[in-house]
Structures are given as C-alpha cells and as structure tokens.
Amino acid sequence: MAASRILRLLAAGTVAALAGLSGLAQPPAPAAPSTPLSVVLESLKRADSDLALRRNYTYVEREVQKSLDSRGAVKKQEIHTYDIVMVGSRRHARLIASNDQPLTEKQAQKEAERMRRAEEKDQERAGRHDPVKDKEKE
C-alpha cells in the first residue's frame, strides 16, 4: 500500500513538474507590430553585418581539369589554385598557383593587375548605383 502511495505522489510530482516546464517551451510573446520601415532598416543592418563578415572570410579553391584520350586515360592535366577573396562587395578568385607550382614573377604581376582592374570595376559599379533610378526601374 505504501509503495502505491509513493508511486502516486511521484507521478503527481512528475506531472506538476512537466506542466511547469511546458510553460518554458512556449514561444516568446510577439513583439509590438513592426512597421514596414523598421523591417527594412533591420534588414539593411543585417545585410551590412553579413557583408562585413564575408569580407573577413577567404578560402582556397583548387581546380583540376583533366583531358582524356579515347581509352579514358589521362592525356593532360591542369591544376589551378585560387585564393577566394572579397573585393568590394563581390567574390573574386585570385590565382595563386598553377600546376601546384607558385606563380612566376610575371604571372603574379599579371594576376595582381587583373585583381586591381576587378576592384576598379566593382567600385565603378558601386558608384553607378542610384537608388532613385533603381526604384524607377521597378
């Protein structure tokens, strides 16, 4: 008899504890209704922070291109290694090695010039961006 009473008390305590915890699992009460302007401003803030994070994120990409003969054997293989970086607001691939060998001085200068032109082009695009004209296009 005492064991069944203890089980009932434990069951009642467990149910009470679960009922108390279920209140914690409820989603938070909705905030005050947002205005369209506040939604747009919050979106712009998050986009800026995302762009700032992407500017700090770089990685290396290795591209292997194989040419096969009629029997399926590798006839020729080219390997290009790129450093993927953000230039302005765009992602660009900067060649850092060819066929697993560092670039020669001449190749490095050529790649630096290509990246400089890409940065200038990105700045030019950013300068041409006119929100008023963009709104008119919609």
Judged against a pLDDT cut of 70, whether residue 92 lies above it is answered with yes
pLDDT recorded at residue 80: 95
Better-scored residue on pLDDT, 55 or 4? 55
Taking residues 46-50, report their average pLDDT.
77
Q: Quote the tokens at residue 131.
A: 């929100």
Summarised one tens digit per residue, pLDDT across range 11-45 is: 444 444 444 444 444 555 555 567 888 888 888 88
Tens digit of each residue's pLDDT (9 = 90 or more) over 65-88: 999 999 999 999 999 999 988 776
| C-alpha span between 127 and 125 (Å, rounded) | 5
pLDDT at 107: 93
98-134 per-residue burial string, b: 16 or more CB within 10 A, e: under 16: eeeeebeeeeeeebeeebeebeeebeeeeeeeeeeee
* Residue with the larger pLDDT of the pair 104 and 91: 104
CB 67 within 8 A of CB 77: yes
